Amino acid sequence: MRKKIRSANWSVGEVAKRSGVNVSTLHFYEEKGLIHASRNSGNQRRYFKDVLRRIAVIKAAQKVGISLTEIKQALSFLPTSHAPNKSDWERLSKQWRADLEQRIKDLTALKDKITGCIGCGCLSLKACPLYNPNDHLGQQQSGAVLLNSSDE
Amino acid sequence: MRKKIRSANWSVGEVAKRSGVNVSTLHFYEEKGLIHASRNSGNQRRYFKDVLRRIAVIKAAQKVGISLTEIKQALSFLPTSHAPNKSDWERLSKQWRADLEQRIKDLTALKDKITGCIGCGCLSLKACPLYNPNDHLGQQQSGAVLLNSSDE
DNA sequence: GCTTGACCTCAAGTAAACTTGAGGAATTAT
DNA sequence: ATAATTCCTCAAGTTTACTTGAGGTCAAGC
C-alpha cells in the first residue's frame, strides 16, 4: 500500500483566482498563520488544494463577524501536516457551534427587540425591551450597565 | 394644552456613566452623526435622555457585526428634533429586520455547514457543503467564485 | 475667590484587516 | 534567448472604530 503523495502545485495566483481573494491577502493570511504553503526551488509558494477549504471557512466566518484571531484559533484544530480528516473537522465544528449558536441568539434577540419596539411604540422607556440591561445583548465588552434610566 | 418641554440636562460624564461608554466615544459618535447634543452657555454638551436608547441600539447592532455606517443609516430614520415615536421606530425596525433575518440565515447556514462537515467527514471535496459556491455565504464582497475545485 | 474636577478642541496614536508600491528574482511564452 | 508575467520581500498606506494626550476653559465645593 503506497502512500498517496499530496500534490502541492498551485501557485498564489492560481489560489487567488480559485478562491477569489487577492494574492496580497494570501500573503497576509500566511503571515498571520491562517494558511500555509510550501515553497518550490525558486522560493515561490505552492499550495495544497485544502487551502481552498481553509479560505472558505475564513471567509464564511468573517462574514458573520468572527475575527481572524478567533478563526485562527478554530483553524488551529486542523492539522497542517495532513489534509483534515473527519475527527479534525469534528473538533473544529464542536468549538464553533456553541459560539455560532450564541451569535444566532444575539441576533434573534436584537431582531425581536426591534420588532417589539413597534408594539411598545418606545413611548415608555421603562417598557422598551432595548432598555433591559439584564440580557446578553445589554452586556457589552465594557461590562457596564447600559441604559440605566431609573431617573427618567 | 402646553407642550412638554424636553429636559436636556445630562452632561457627557453622566451619559458616559449611564451608558457605559467612554466620554471620548460619545464625542466620536457625535462627530460621526450618530448621536446629538445641545450645548449650555459654557459650550458644554447637554444630552436628552433619548440618547441612551440610541447608544443601546448602536451597541446592540455593533455586537452582531453591523458597521457604524449602516447603523447611522438606520438611525437616520429617527428624528433628532423630537423623541422618536411609534412610526419612527417602525421605519427603523422595518429597515433592519430584513437585514437581521439575512444575517441570522447566514449564521445558521454556517453552523449547519460546519455541523454537516462532521457527517461528510470532508473527505470528499465535492460533497462538502462548504464548497458549494451557489449559496449566499459563498458570495463574498468580491463576488468571486469561491472554491472552484473542479480539477481536484 | 480659588482650587479641583469635569469639560472643551484638535492632533496624534492604536489595532485589525488588508492594499499598494518599490526593487528585484523566477517562470512561462514565443 | 529574450520578453512578458508572475512571484518574492519589506515598508508604508488605508479604513474602521476608537483611545490618548496636550493645552486650555468651565463649574462646583469650601
pLDDT (tens digit, 9 = 90+) per residue, A47-62? 998 899 889 888 877 8
**Residue B94: what residue type?**
K
Mean pLDDT of B86-103: 72
DSSP letter at A4? P
Q: Are residues B150 and B94 in the same domain?
A: no
Does the residue B138 lie in any domain?
Answer: yes
Co-location of A133 and A63 in the same domain = no
Residue A7 lies in a domain: no
Model pTM score: 0.70
Mean pLDDT on A97-113: 76
Cell of residue B6, nine digits = 424636553
Predicted confidence (pLDDT) at residue A5 exceeds the cutoff of 80: no
Tell me the per-residue pLDDT of B1-35, one tens digit each, with 9 for 90 and over. 554 455 668 999 999 999 999 999 999 999 999 99
The pLDDT, as a whole number, for residue A7 is: 63
Q: Assess if residue A139 is contained within a domain.
A: yes
Q: Are residues B132 and B93 in the same domain?
A: no
Is residue A134 located within the same domain as residue A89?
Answer: no
CA dist., res. A97 & res. A74, Å (int):
11
3-state secondary structure of A84: coil
Helices (H), chain B: 12-19, 23-31, 51-63, 68-75, 86-120
**Residue A5 within any structural domain of the chain:** no
Do A19 and A44 fall within a single domain? yes
Separation between Cα atoms, residue A17 and residue B116, nearest integer Å: 26
Same domain, B32 and B99: yes
Q: Are A58 and A65 in contact (CB under 8 A)?
A: no
Tell me if B122 and A56 make a contact (CB, 8 A cut-off).
Answer: no
**DSSP type of residue B36:** -
Residues, chain A, total? 152
Do residues A36 and A97 both lie within one domain? yes
Residue A2 domain flag? no
Q: Considering only CA atoms, which of B131, B95, B99, B89 is closest in space to residue B114?
A: B131
* Shared domain check, A102 and A145: no
> DSSP 3-state helix, strand, coil percentages of chain A (rounded to 5)?
50, 5, 45
Quote the number of domains for chain A: 2
Task: Please indicate, yes or no, whether residues A68 and A139 belong to a single structural domain of this protein.
Answer: no
Query: Which cell is B20 given?
Result: 457605559
Cα B97 to Cα B105: distance, rounded to the nearest angstrom? 12
Task: Please report which confidence band the pLDDT of residue B81 belongs to, taking 50, 70 and 90 as the band edges.
Answer: low
With bands split at pLDDT 50, 70 and 90, how would you rate the model's confidence at A112? Answer: confident
Range of the domain at A133: 122-152
**Chain A, window 61-100: residues with a beta carbon less than 8 angstroms from a chain B beta carbon:** 61, 63-65, 84-86, 89-90, 92-93, 96-97, 100
Q: Is residue A4 part of a domain?
A: no
Residue B2 lies in a domain: no
Are A73 and A94 in the same domain? yes
Residue B82 CB: number of other CB atoms within 10 A? Answer: 11
Q: Is the pLDDT of residue B68 over 50?
A: yes
- Domain containing A92 — which CATH number? 1.10.1660.10
In chain A, residues 105-124 whose CB comes closer than 8 Å to chain B: 106-108, 110-111, 113-115, 117-118, 121-123
B105 vs B85: CA distance, rounded Å: 30
- For range B118-129, the mean pLDDT: 41
Helical H segments across chain A, by residue range: 12-19, 23-31, 51-63, 68-75, 86-120
Instruction: Say if B66 falls within a structural domain.
Output: yes
Residue among B55, B104, B128 minimizing CB distance to A53: B128
Domain identity same for B142 and B97: no
Cα B121 versus chain centre, distance:
36
B90 and B47: one domain?
A: yes
Q: Give B91 CA → D9 C1' in Å.
A: 52
